[in-house]
């Protein structure tokens, strides 16, 4: 957005006005579509009060805008230090510093962006000796799937501690975030590879736990039951676990089971409660019930992780169908699912 990129002070408003005049009304109209009514009003006023613009002023504004866009692209790709290195070579340290100073003042660069391209094991090694609060802060900013993979690699004690801290984390002062970024970024390099900012919270925890394997999920929730039963219940109310399968109405469970392989259903039932087993079997055709009963009789003992993986496939199917809108899983109040 041009207005937010160039800032809100008078000098910056003038630059934004000159930029929109220079690129023409059609392109300016496209930019207007991404602005709020207040931004449009402010910028339109700046345009109407702009007098004659010299060729030098026009070229200077276009050049600054281009350099700012390029700098932001480098920041997005590799972080601030990567952008600084590239811009130092291209524009010199003075000009590069000037551009980056403006960007850090006017653009929000997501914290811990430098970790985005690191793989899971690099991140695990990165935080191996870190305090739980810093790990919780870092995971709050990672993609939920990557955060889940990192969480799975940590010890069971760490998992519960970190999840608890994330759930109770409401805001962190920017100075602490910057200090943590500097320390972790320097450590990652050695490995070779305003207002308070809202982070963490219950939503972040639920998104991550929804992505971990069944064993990790069970460990976290069962341990939380002993440490903080209220928090464990809050998490369960906001996510779907295998034991919740019995809460689905007939149409929903039948739709789910159509998407799951017969073998996975049989394996999942090896570790299911009688209630869950009876519920699932009663929603299968007579022929499929007989086939699964036969599978169970000849299957023999199964590894716990294989049973949990099969159960997780069913849970993932429920979540996928919910995401696609084919079923609606109610949250928190135990009411029926709607189809």
DSSP string, 107-132: S-PPTTGGGTTS-HHHHHHHTTTS-H
Same domain for 15 and 90: yes
How confident is the model over 169-177, as a mean pLDDT? Answer: 77
- Per-residue pLDDT band for 76 (boundaries 50, 70, 90) equals low
DSSP state of 279: H
Q: Domain total for the chain?
A: 3
Residue 227 falls inside a structural domain: no
Per-residue pLDDT, 339: 41
How does the average pLDDT of the chain come out, rounded? 79
| For residue 197, pLDDT beyond 80 | no
Q: Count how many Cα atoms sit within 13 Å of the Cα of residue 221 in the half-sphere of its side chain.
A: 22
Helix axes 274-282, 250-258, angle to 10 degrees: 80
How confident is the model over 67-75, as a mean pLDDT? Answer: 73
What pLDDT digit, counting tens, does each position of 225-268 carry? 888 888 888 887 778 778 888 888 889 999 999 999 999 999 99
Per-residue pLDDT, 219: 82
DSSP state of 246: G
Q: Please say which residue of 106, 132, 159 terminates a domain.
A: 106
The Cα angle at residue 150 between residues 149 and 155, in degrees rounded to 5: 110
Same domain for 95 and 22: yes
What pLDDT digit, counting tens, does each position of 299-314 carry? 888 888 889 889 989 9
R_g of the chain, CA atoms, integer Å? 27
Per-residue pLDDT, 149: 92
Q: What share of the chain is helix, strand, coil (3-state, %, to 5)?
A: 75, 0, 25
Nearest to 296 by CA among 315, 268, 275: 268
Same domain for 158 and 136: yes
CATH code of residue 325: 1.10.220.30
| For residue 289, pLDDT beyond 70 | yes
Q: Residue 191: phi, psi to the nearest 5?
A: -75, -15
Residue 230 falls inside a structural domain: no
Host H or E run for residue 180: helix 174-190
Nearest to 184 by CA among 140, 131, 148, 109: 131
Residue 224 falls inside a structural domain: no
- Tell the residue number behind the tokens 């009789």, with chain if given: 297
Residue 236 falls inside a structural domain: no
Same domain for 173 and 82: no
Q: How far apart are CA 125 and CA 113, in angstroms?
A: 17
Same domain for 86 and 172: no
Per-residue pLDDT, 142: 87
Per-residue pLDDT, 13: 74
Residue 260 belongs to domain spanning:
241-339
- With the C-alpha atoms ordered 293, 299, 304, 305, is the resulting torsion angle positive or negative? negative
Q: Among residues of the chain, what percentage have pLDDT more than 70?
A: 81
Q: How far apart are CA 269 and CA 291, in angstroms?
A: 13
Residues 6+ apart with CB under 8 A from 165: 132, 133, 136, 200
Residue 159 falls inside a structural domain: yes
What pLDDT digit, counting tens, does each position of 77-134 carry? 666 667 777 778 877 888 777 777 766 555 445 678 778 778 888 899 989 889 999 9
| For residue 5, pLDDT beyond 60 | no
Same domain for 168 and 93: no
**Do 46 and 13 touch, CB atoms closer than 8 A?**
yes
Same domain for 336 and 267: yes
Per-residue pLDDT, 49: 66
Q: Please say which residue of 71, 86, 106 terminates a domain.
A: 106
In this predicted structure, which of 26-35, 234-243, 271-280 has the lowest mean pLDDT?
A: 26-35
How confident is the model over 328-338, as a mean pLDDT? Answer: 51
Residue 295 falls inside a structural domain: yes
- Per-residue pLDDT band for 7 (boundaries 50, 70, 90) equals very low
Same domain for 72 and 18: yes
In this predicted structure, which of 92-96, 169-173, 198-202, 325-329 has the lowest mean pLDDT?
A: 198-202
More confident residue, 133 or 331: 133
Same domain for 143 and 59: no
| For residue 62, pLDDT beyond 70 | yes
Per-residue pLDDT, 288: 93
Per-residue pLDDT, 200: 62
Nearest to 73 by CA among 112, 45, 113, 14: 113
Per-residue pLDDT, 277: 93
């Amino acid at each position: 957005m041009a207005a937010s990129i160039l800032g809100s002070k008078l000098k910056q408003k003038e630059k934004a006005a000159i930029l929109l005049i220079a690129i023409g009304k059609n392109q300016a109209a496209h930019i207007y579509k991404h602005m709020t009514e207040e931004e449009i009003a402010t910028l339109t006023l700046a345009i109407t009060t702009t007098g004659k613009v010299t060729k030098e002023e026009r070229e200077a504004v276009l050049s600054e805008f281009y350099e700012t866009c390029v700098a932001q692209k480098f920041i997005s790709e590799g972080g601030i230090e990567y952008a600084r290195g590239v811009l130092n070579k291209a524009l010199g340290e003075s000009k590069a510093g000037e551009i980056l100073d403006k960007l850090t003042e006017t653009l929000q660069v997501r914290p811990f962006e430098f970790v985005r391209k690191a793989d899971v094991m690099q991140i695990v090694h990165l935080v191996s000796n870190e305090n739980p609060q810093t790990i919780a802060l870092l995971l709050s900013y990672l993609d939920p799937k990557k955060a889940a993979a990192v969480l799975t690699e940590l010890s069971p004690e760490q998992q519960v501690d970190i999840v608890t801290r994330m759930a109770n984390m409401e805001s962190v002062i920017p100075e602490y975030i910057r200090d943590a970024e500097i320390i972790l970024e320097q450590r990652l390099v050695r490995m070779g590879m305003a207002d308070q900012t809202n982070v963490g919270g219950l939503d972040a925890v639920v998104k991550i736990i929804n992505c971990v394997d069944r064993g990790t999920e069970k460990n976290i929730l069962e341990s939380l039951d002993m440490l903080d039963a209220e928090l464990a219940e809050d998490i369960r109310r906001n996510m779907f676990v295998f034991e919740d399968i019995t809460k689905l109405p007939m149409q929903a469970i039948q739709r789910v089971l159509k998407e799951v392989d017969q073998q996975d259903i049989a394996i999942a039932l090896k570790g299911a409660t009688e209630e869950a087993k009876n519920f699932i079997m009663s929603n299968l055709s007579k022929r499929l019930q007989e086939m699964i009963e036969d599978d169970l009789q000849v299957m023999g003992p199964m590894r716990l992780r294989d049973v949990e993986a099969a159960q997780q496939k069913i849970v993932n199917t429920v979540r996928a169908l919910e995401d696609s809108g084919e079923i609606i899983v109610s949250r928190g109040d135990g009411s029926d699912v709607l189809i």
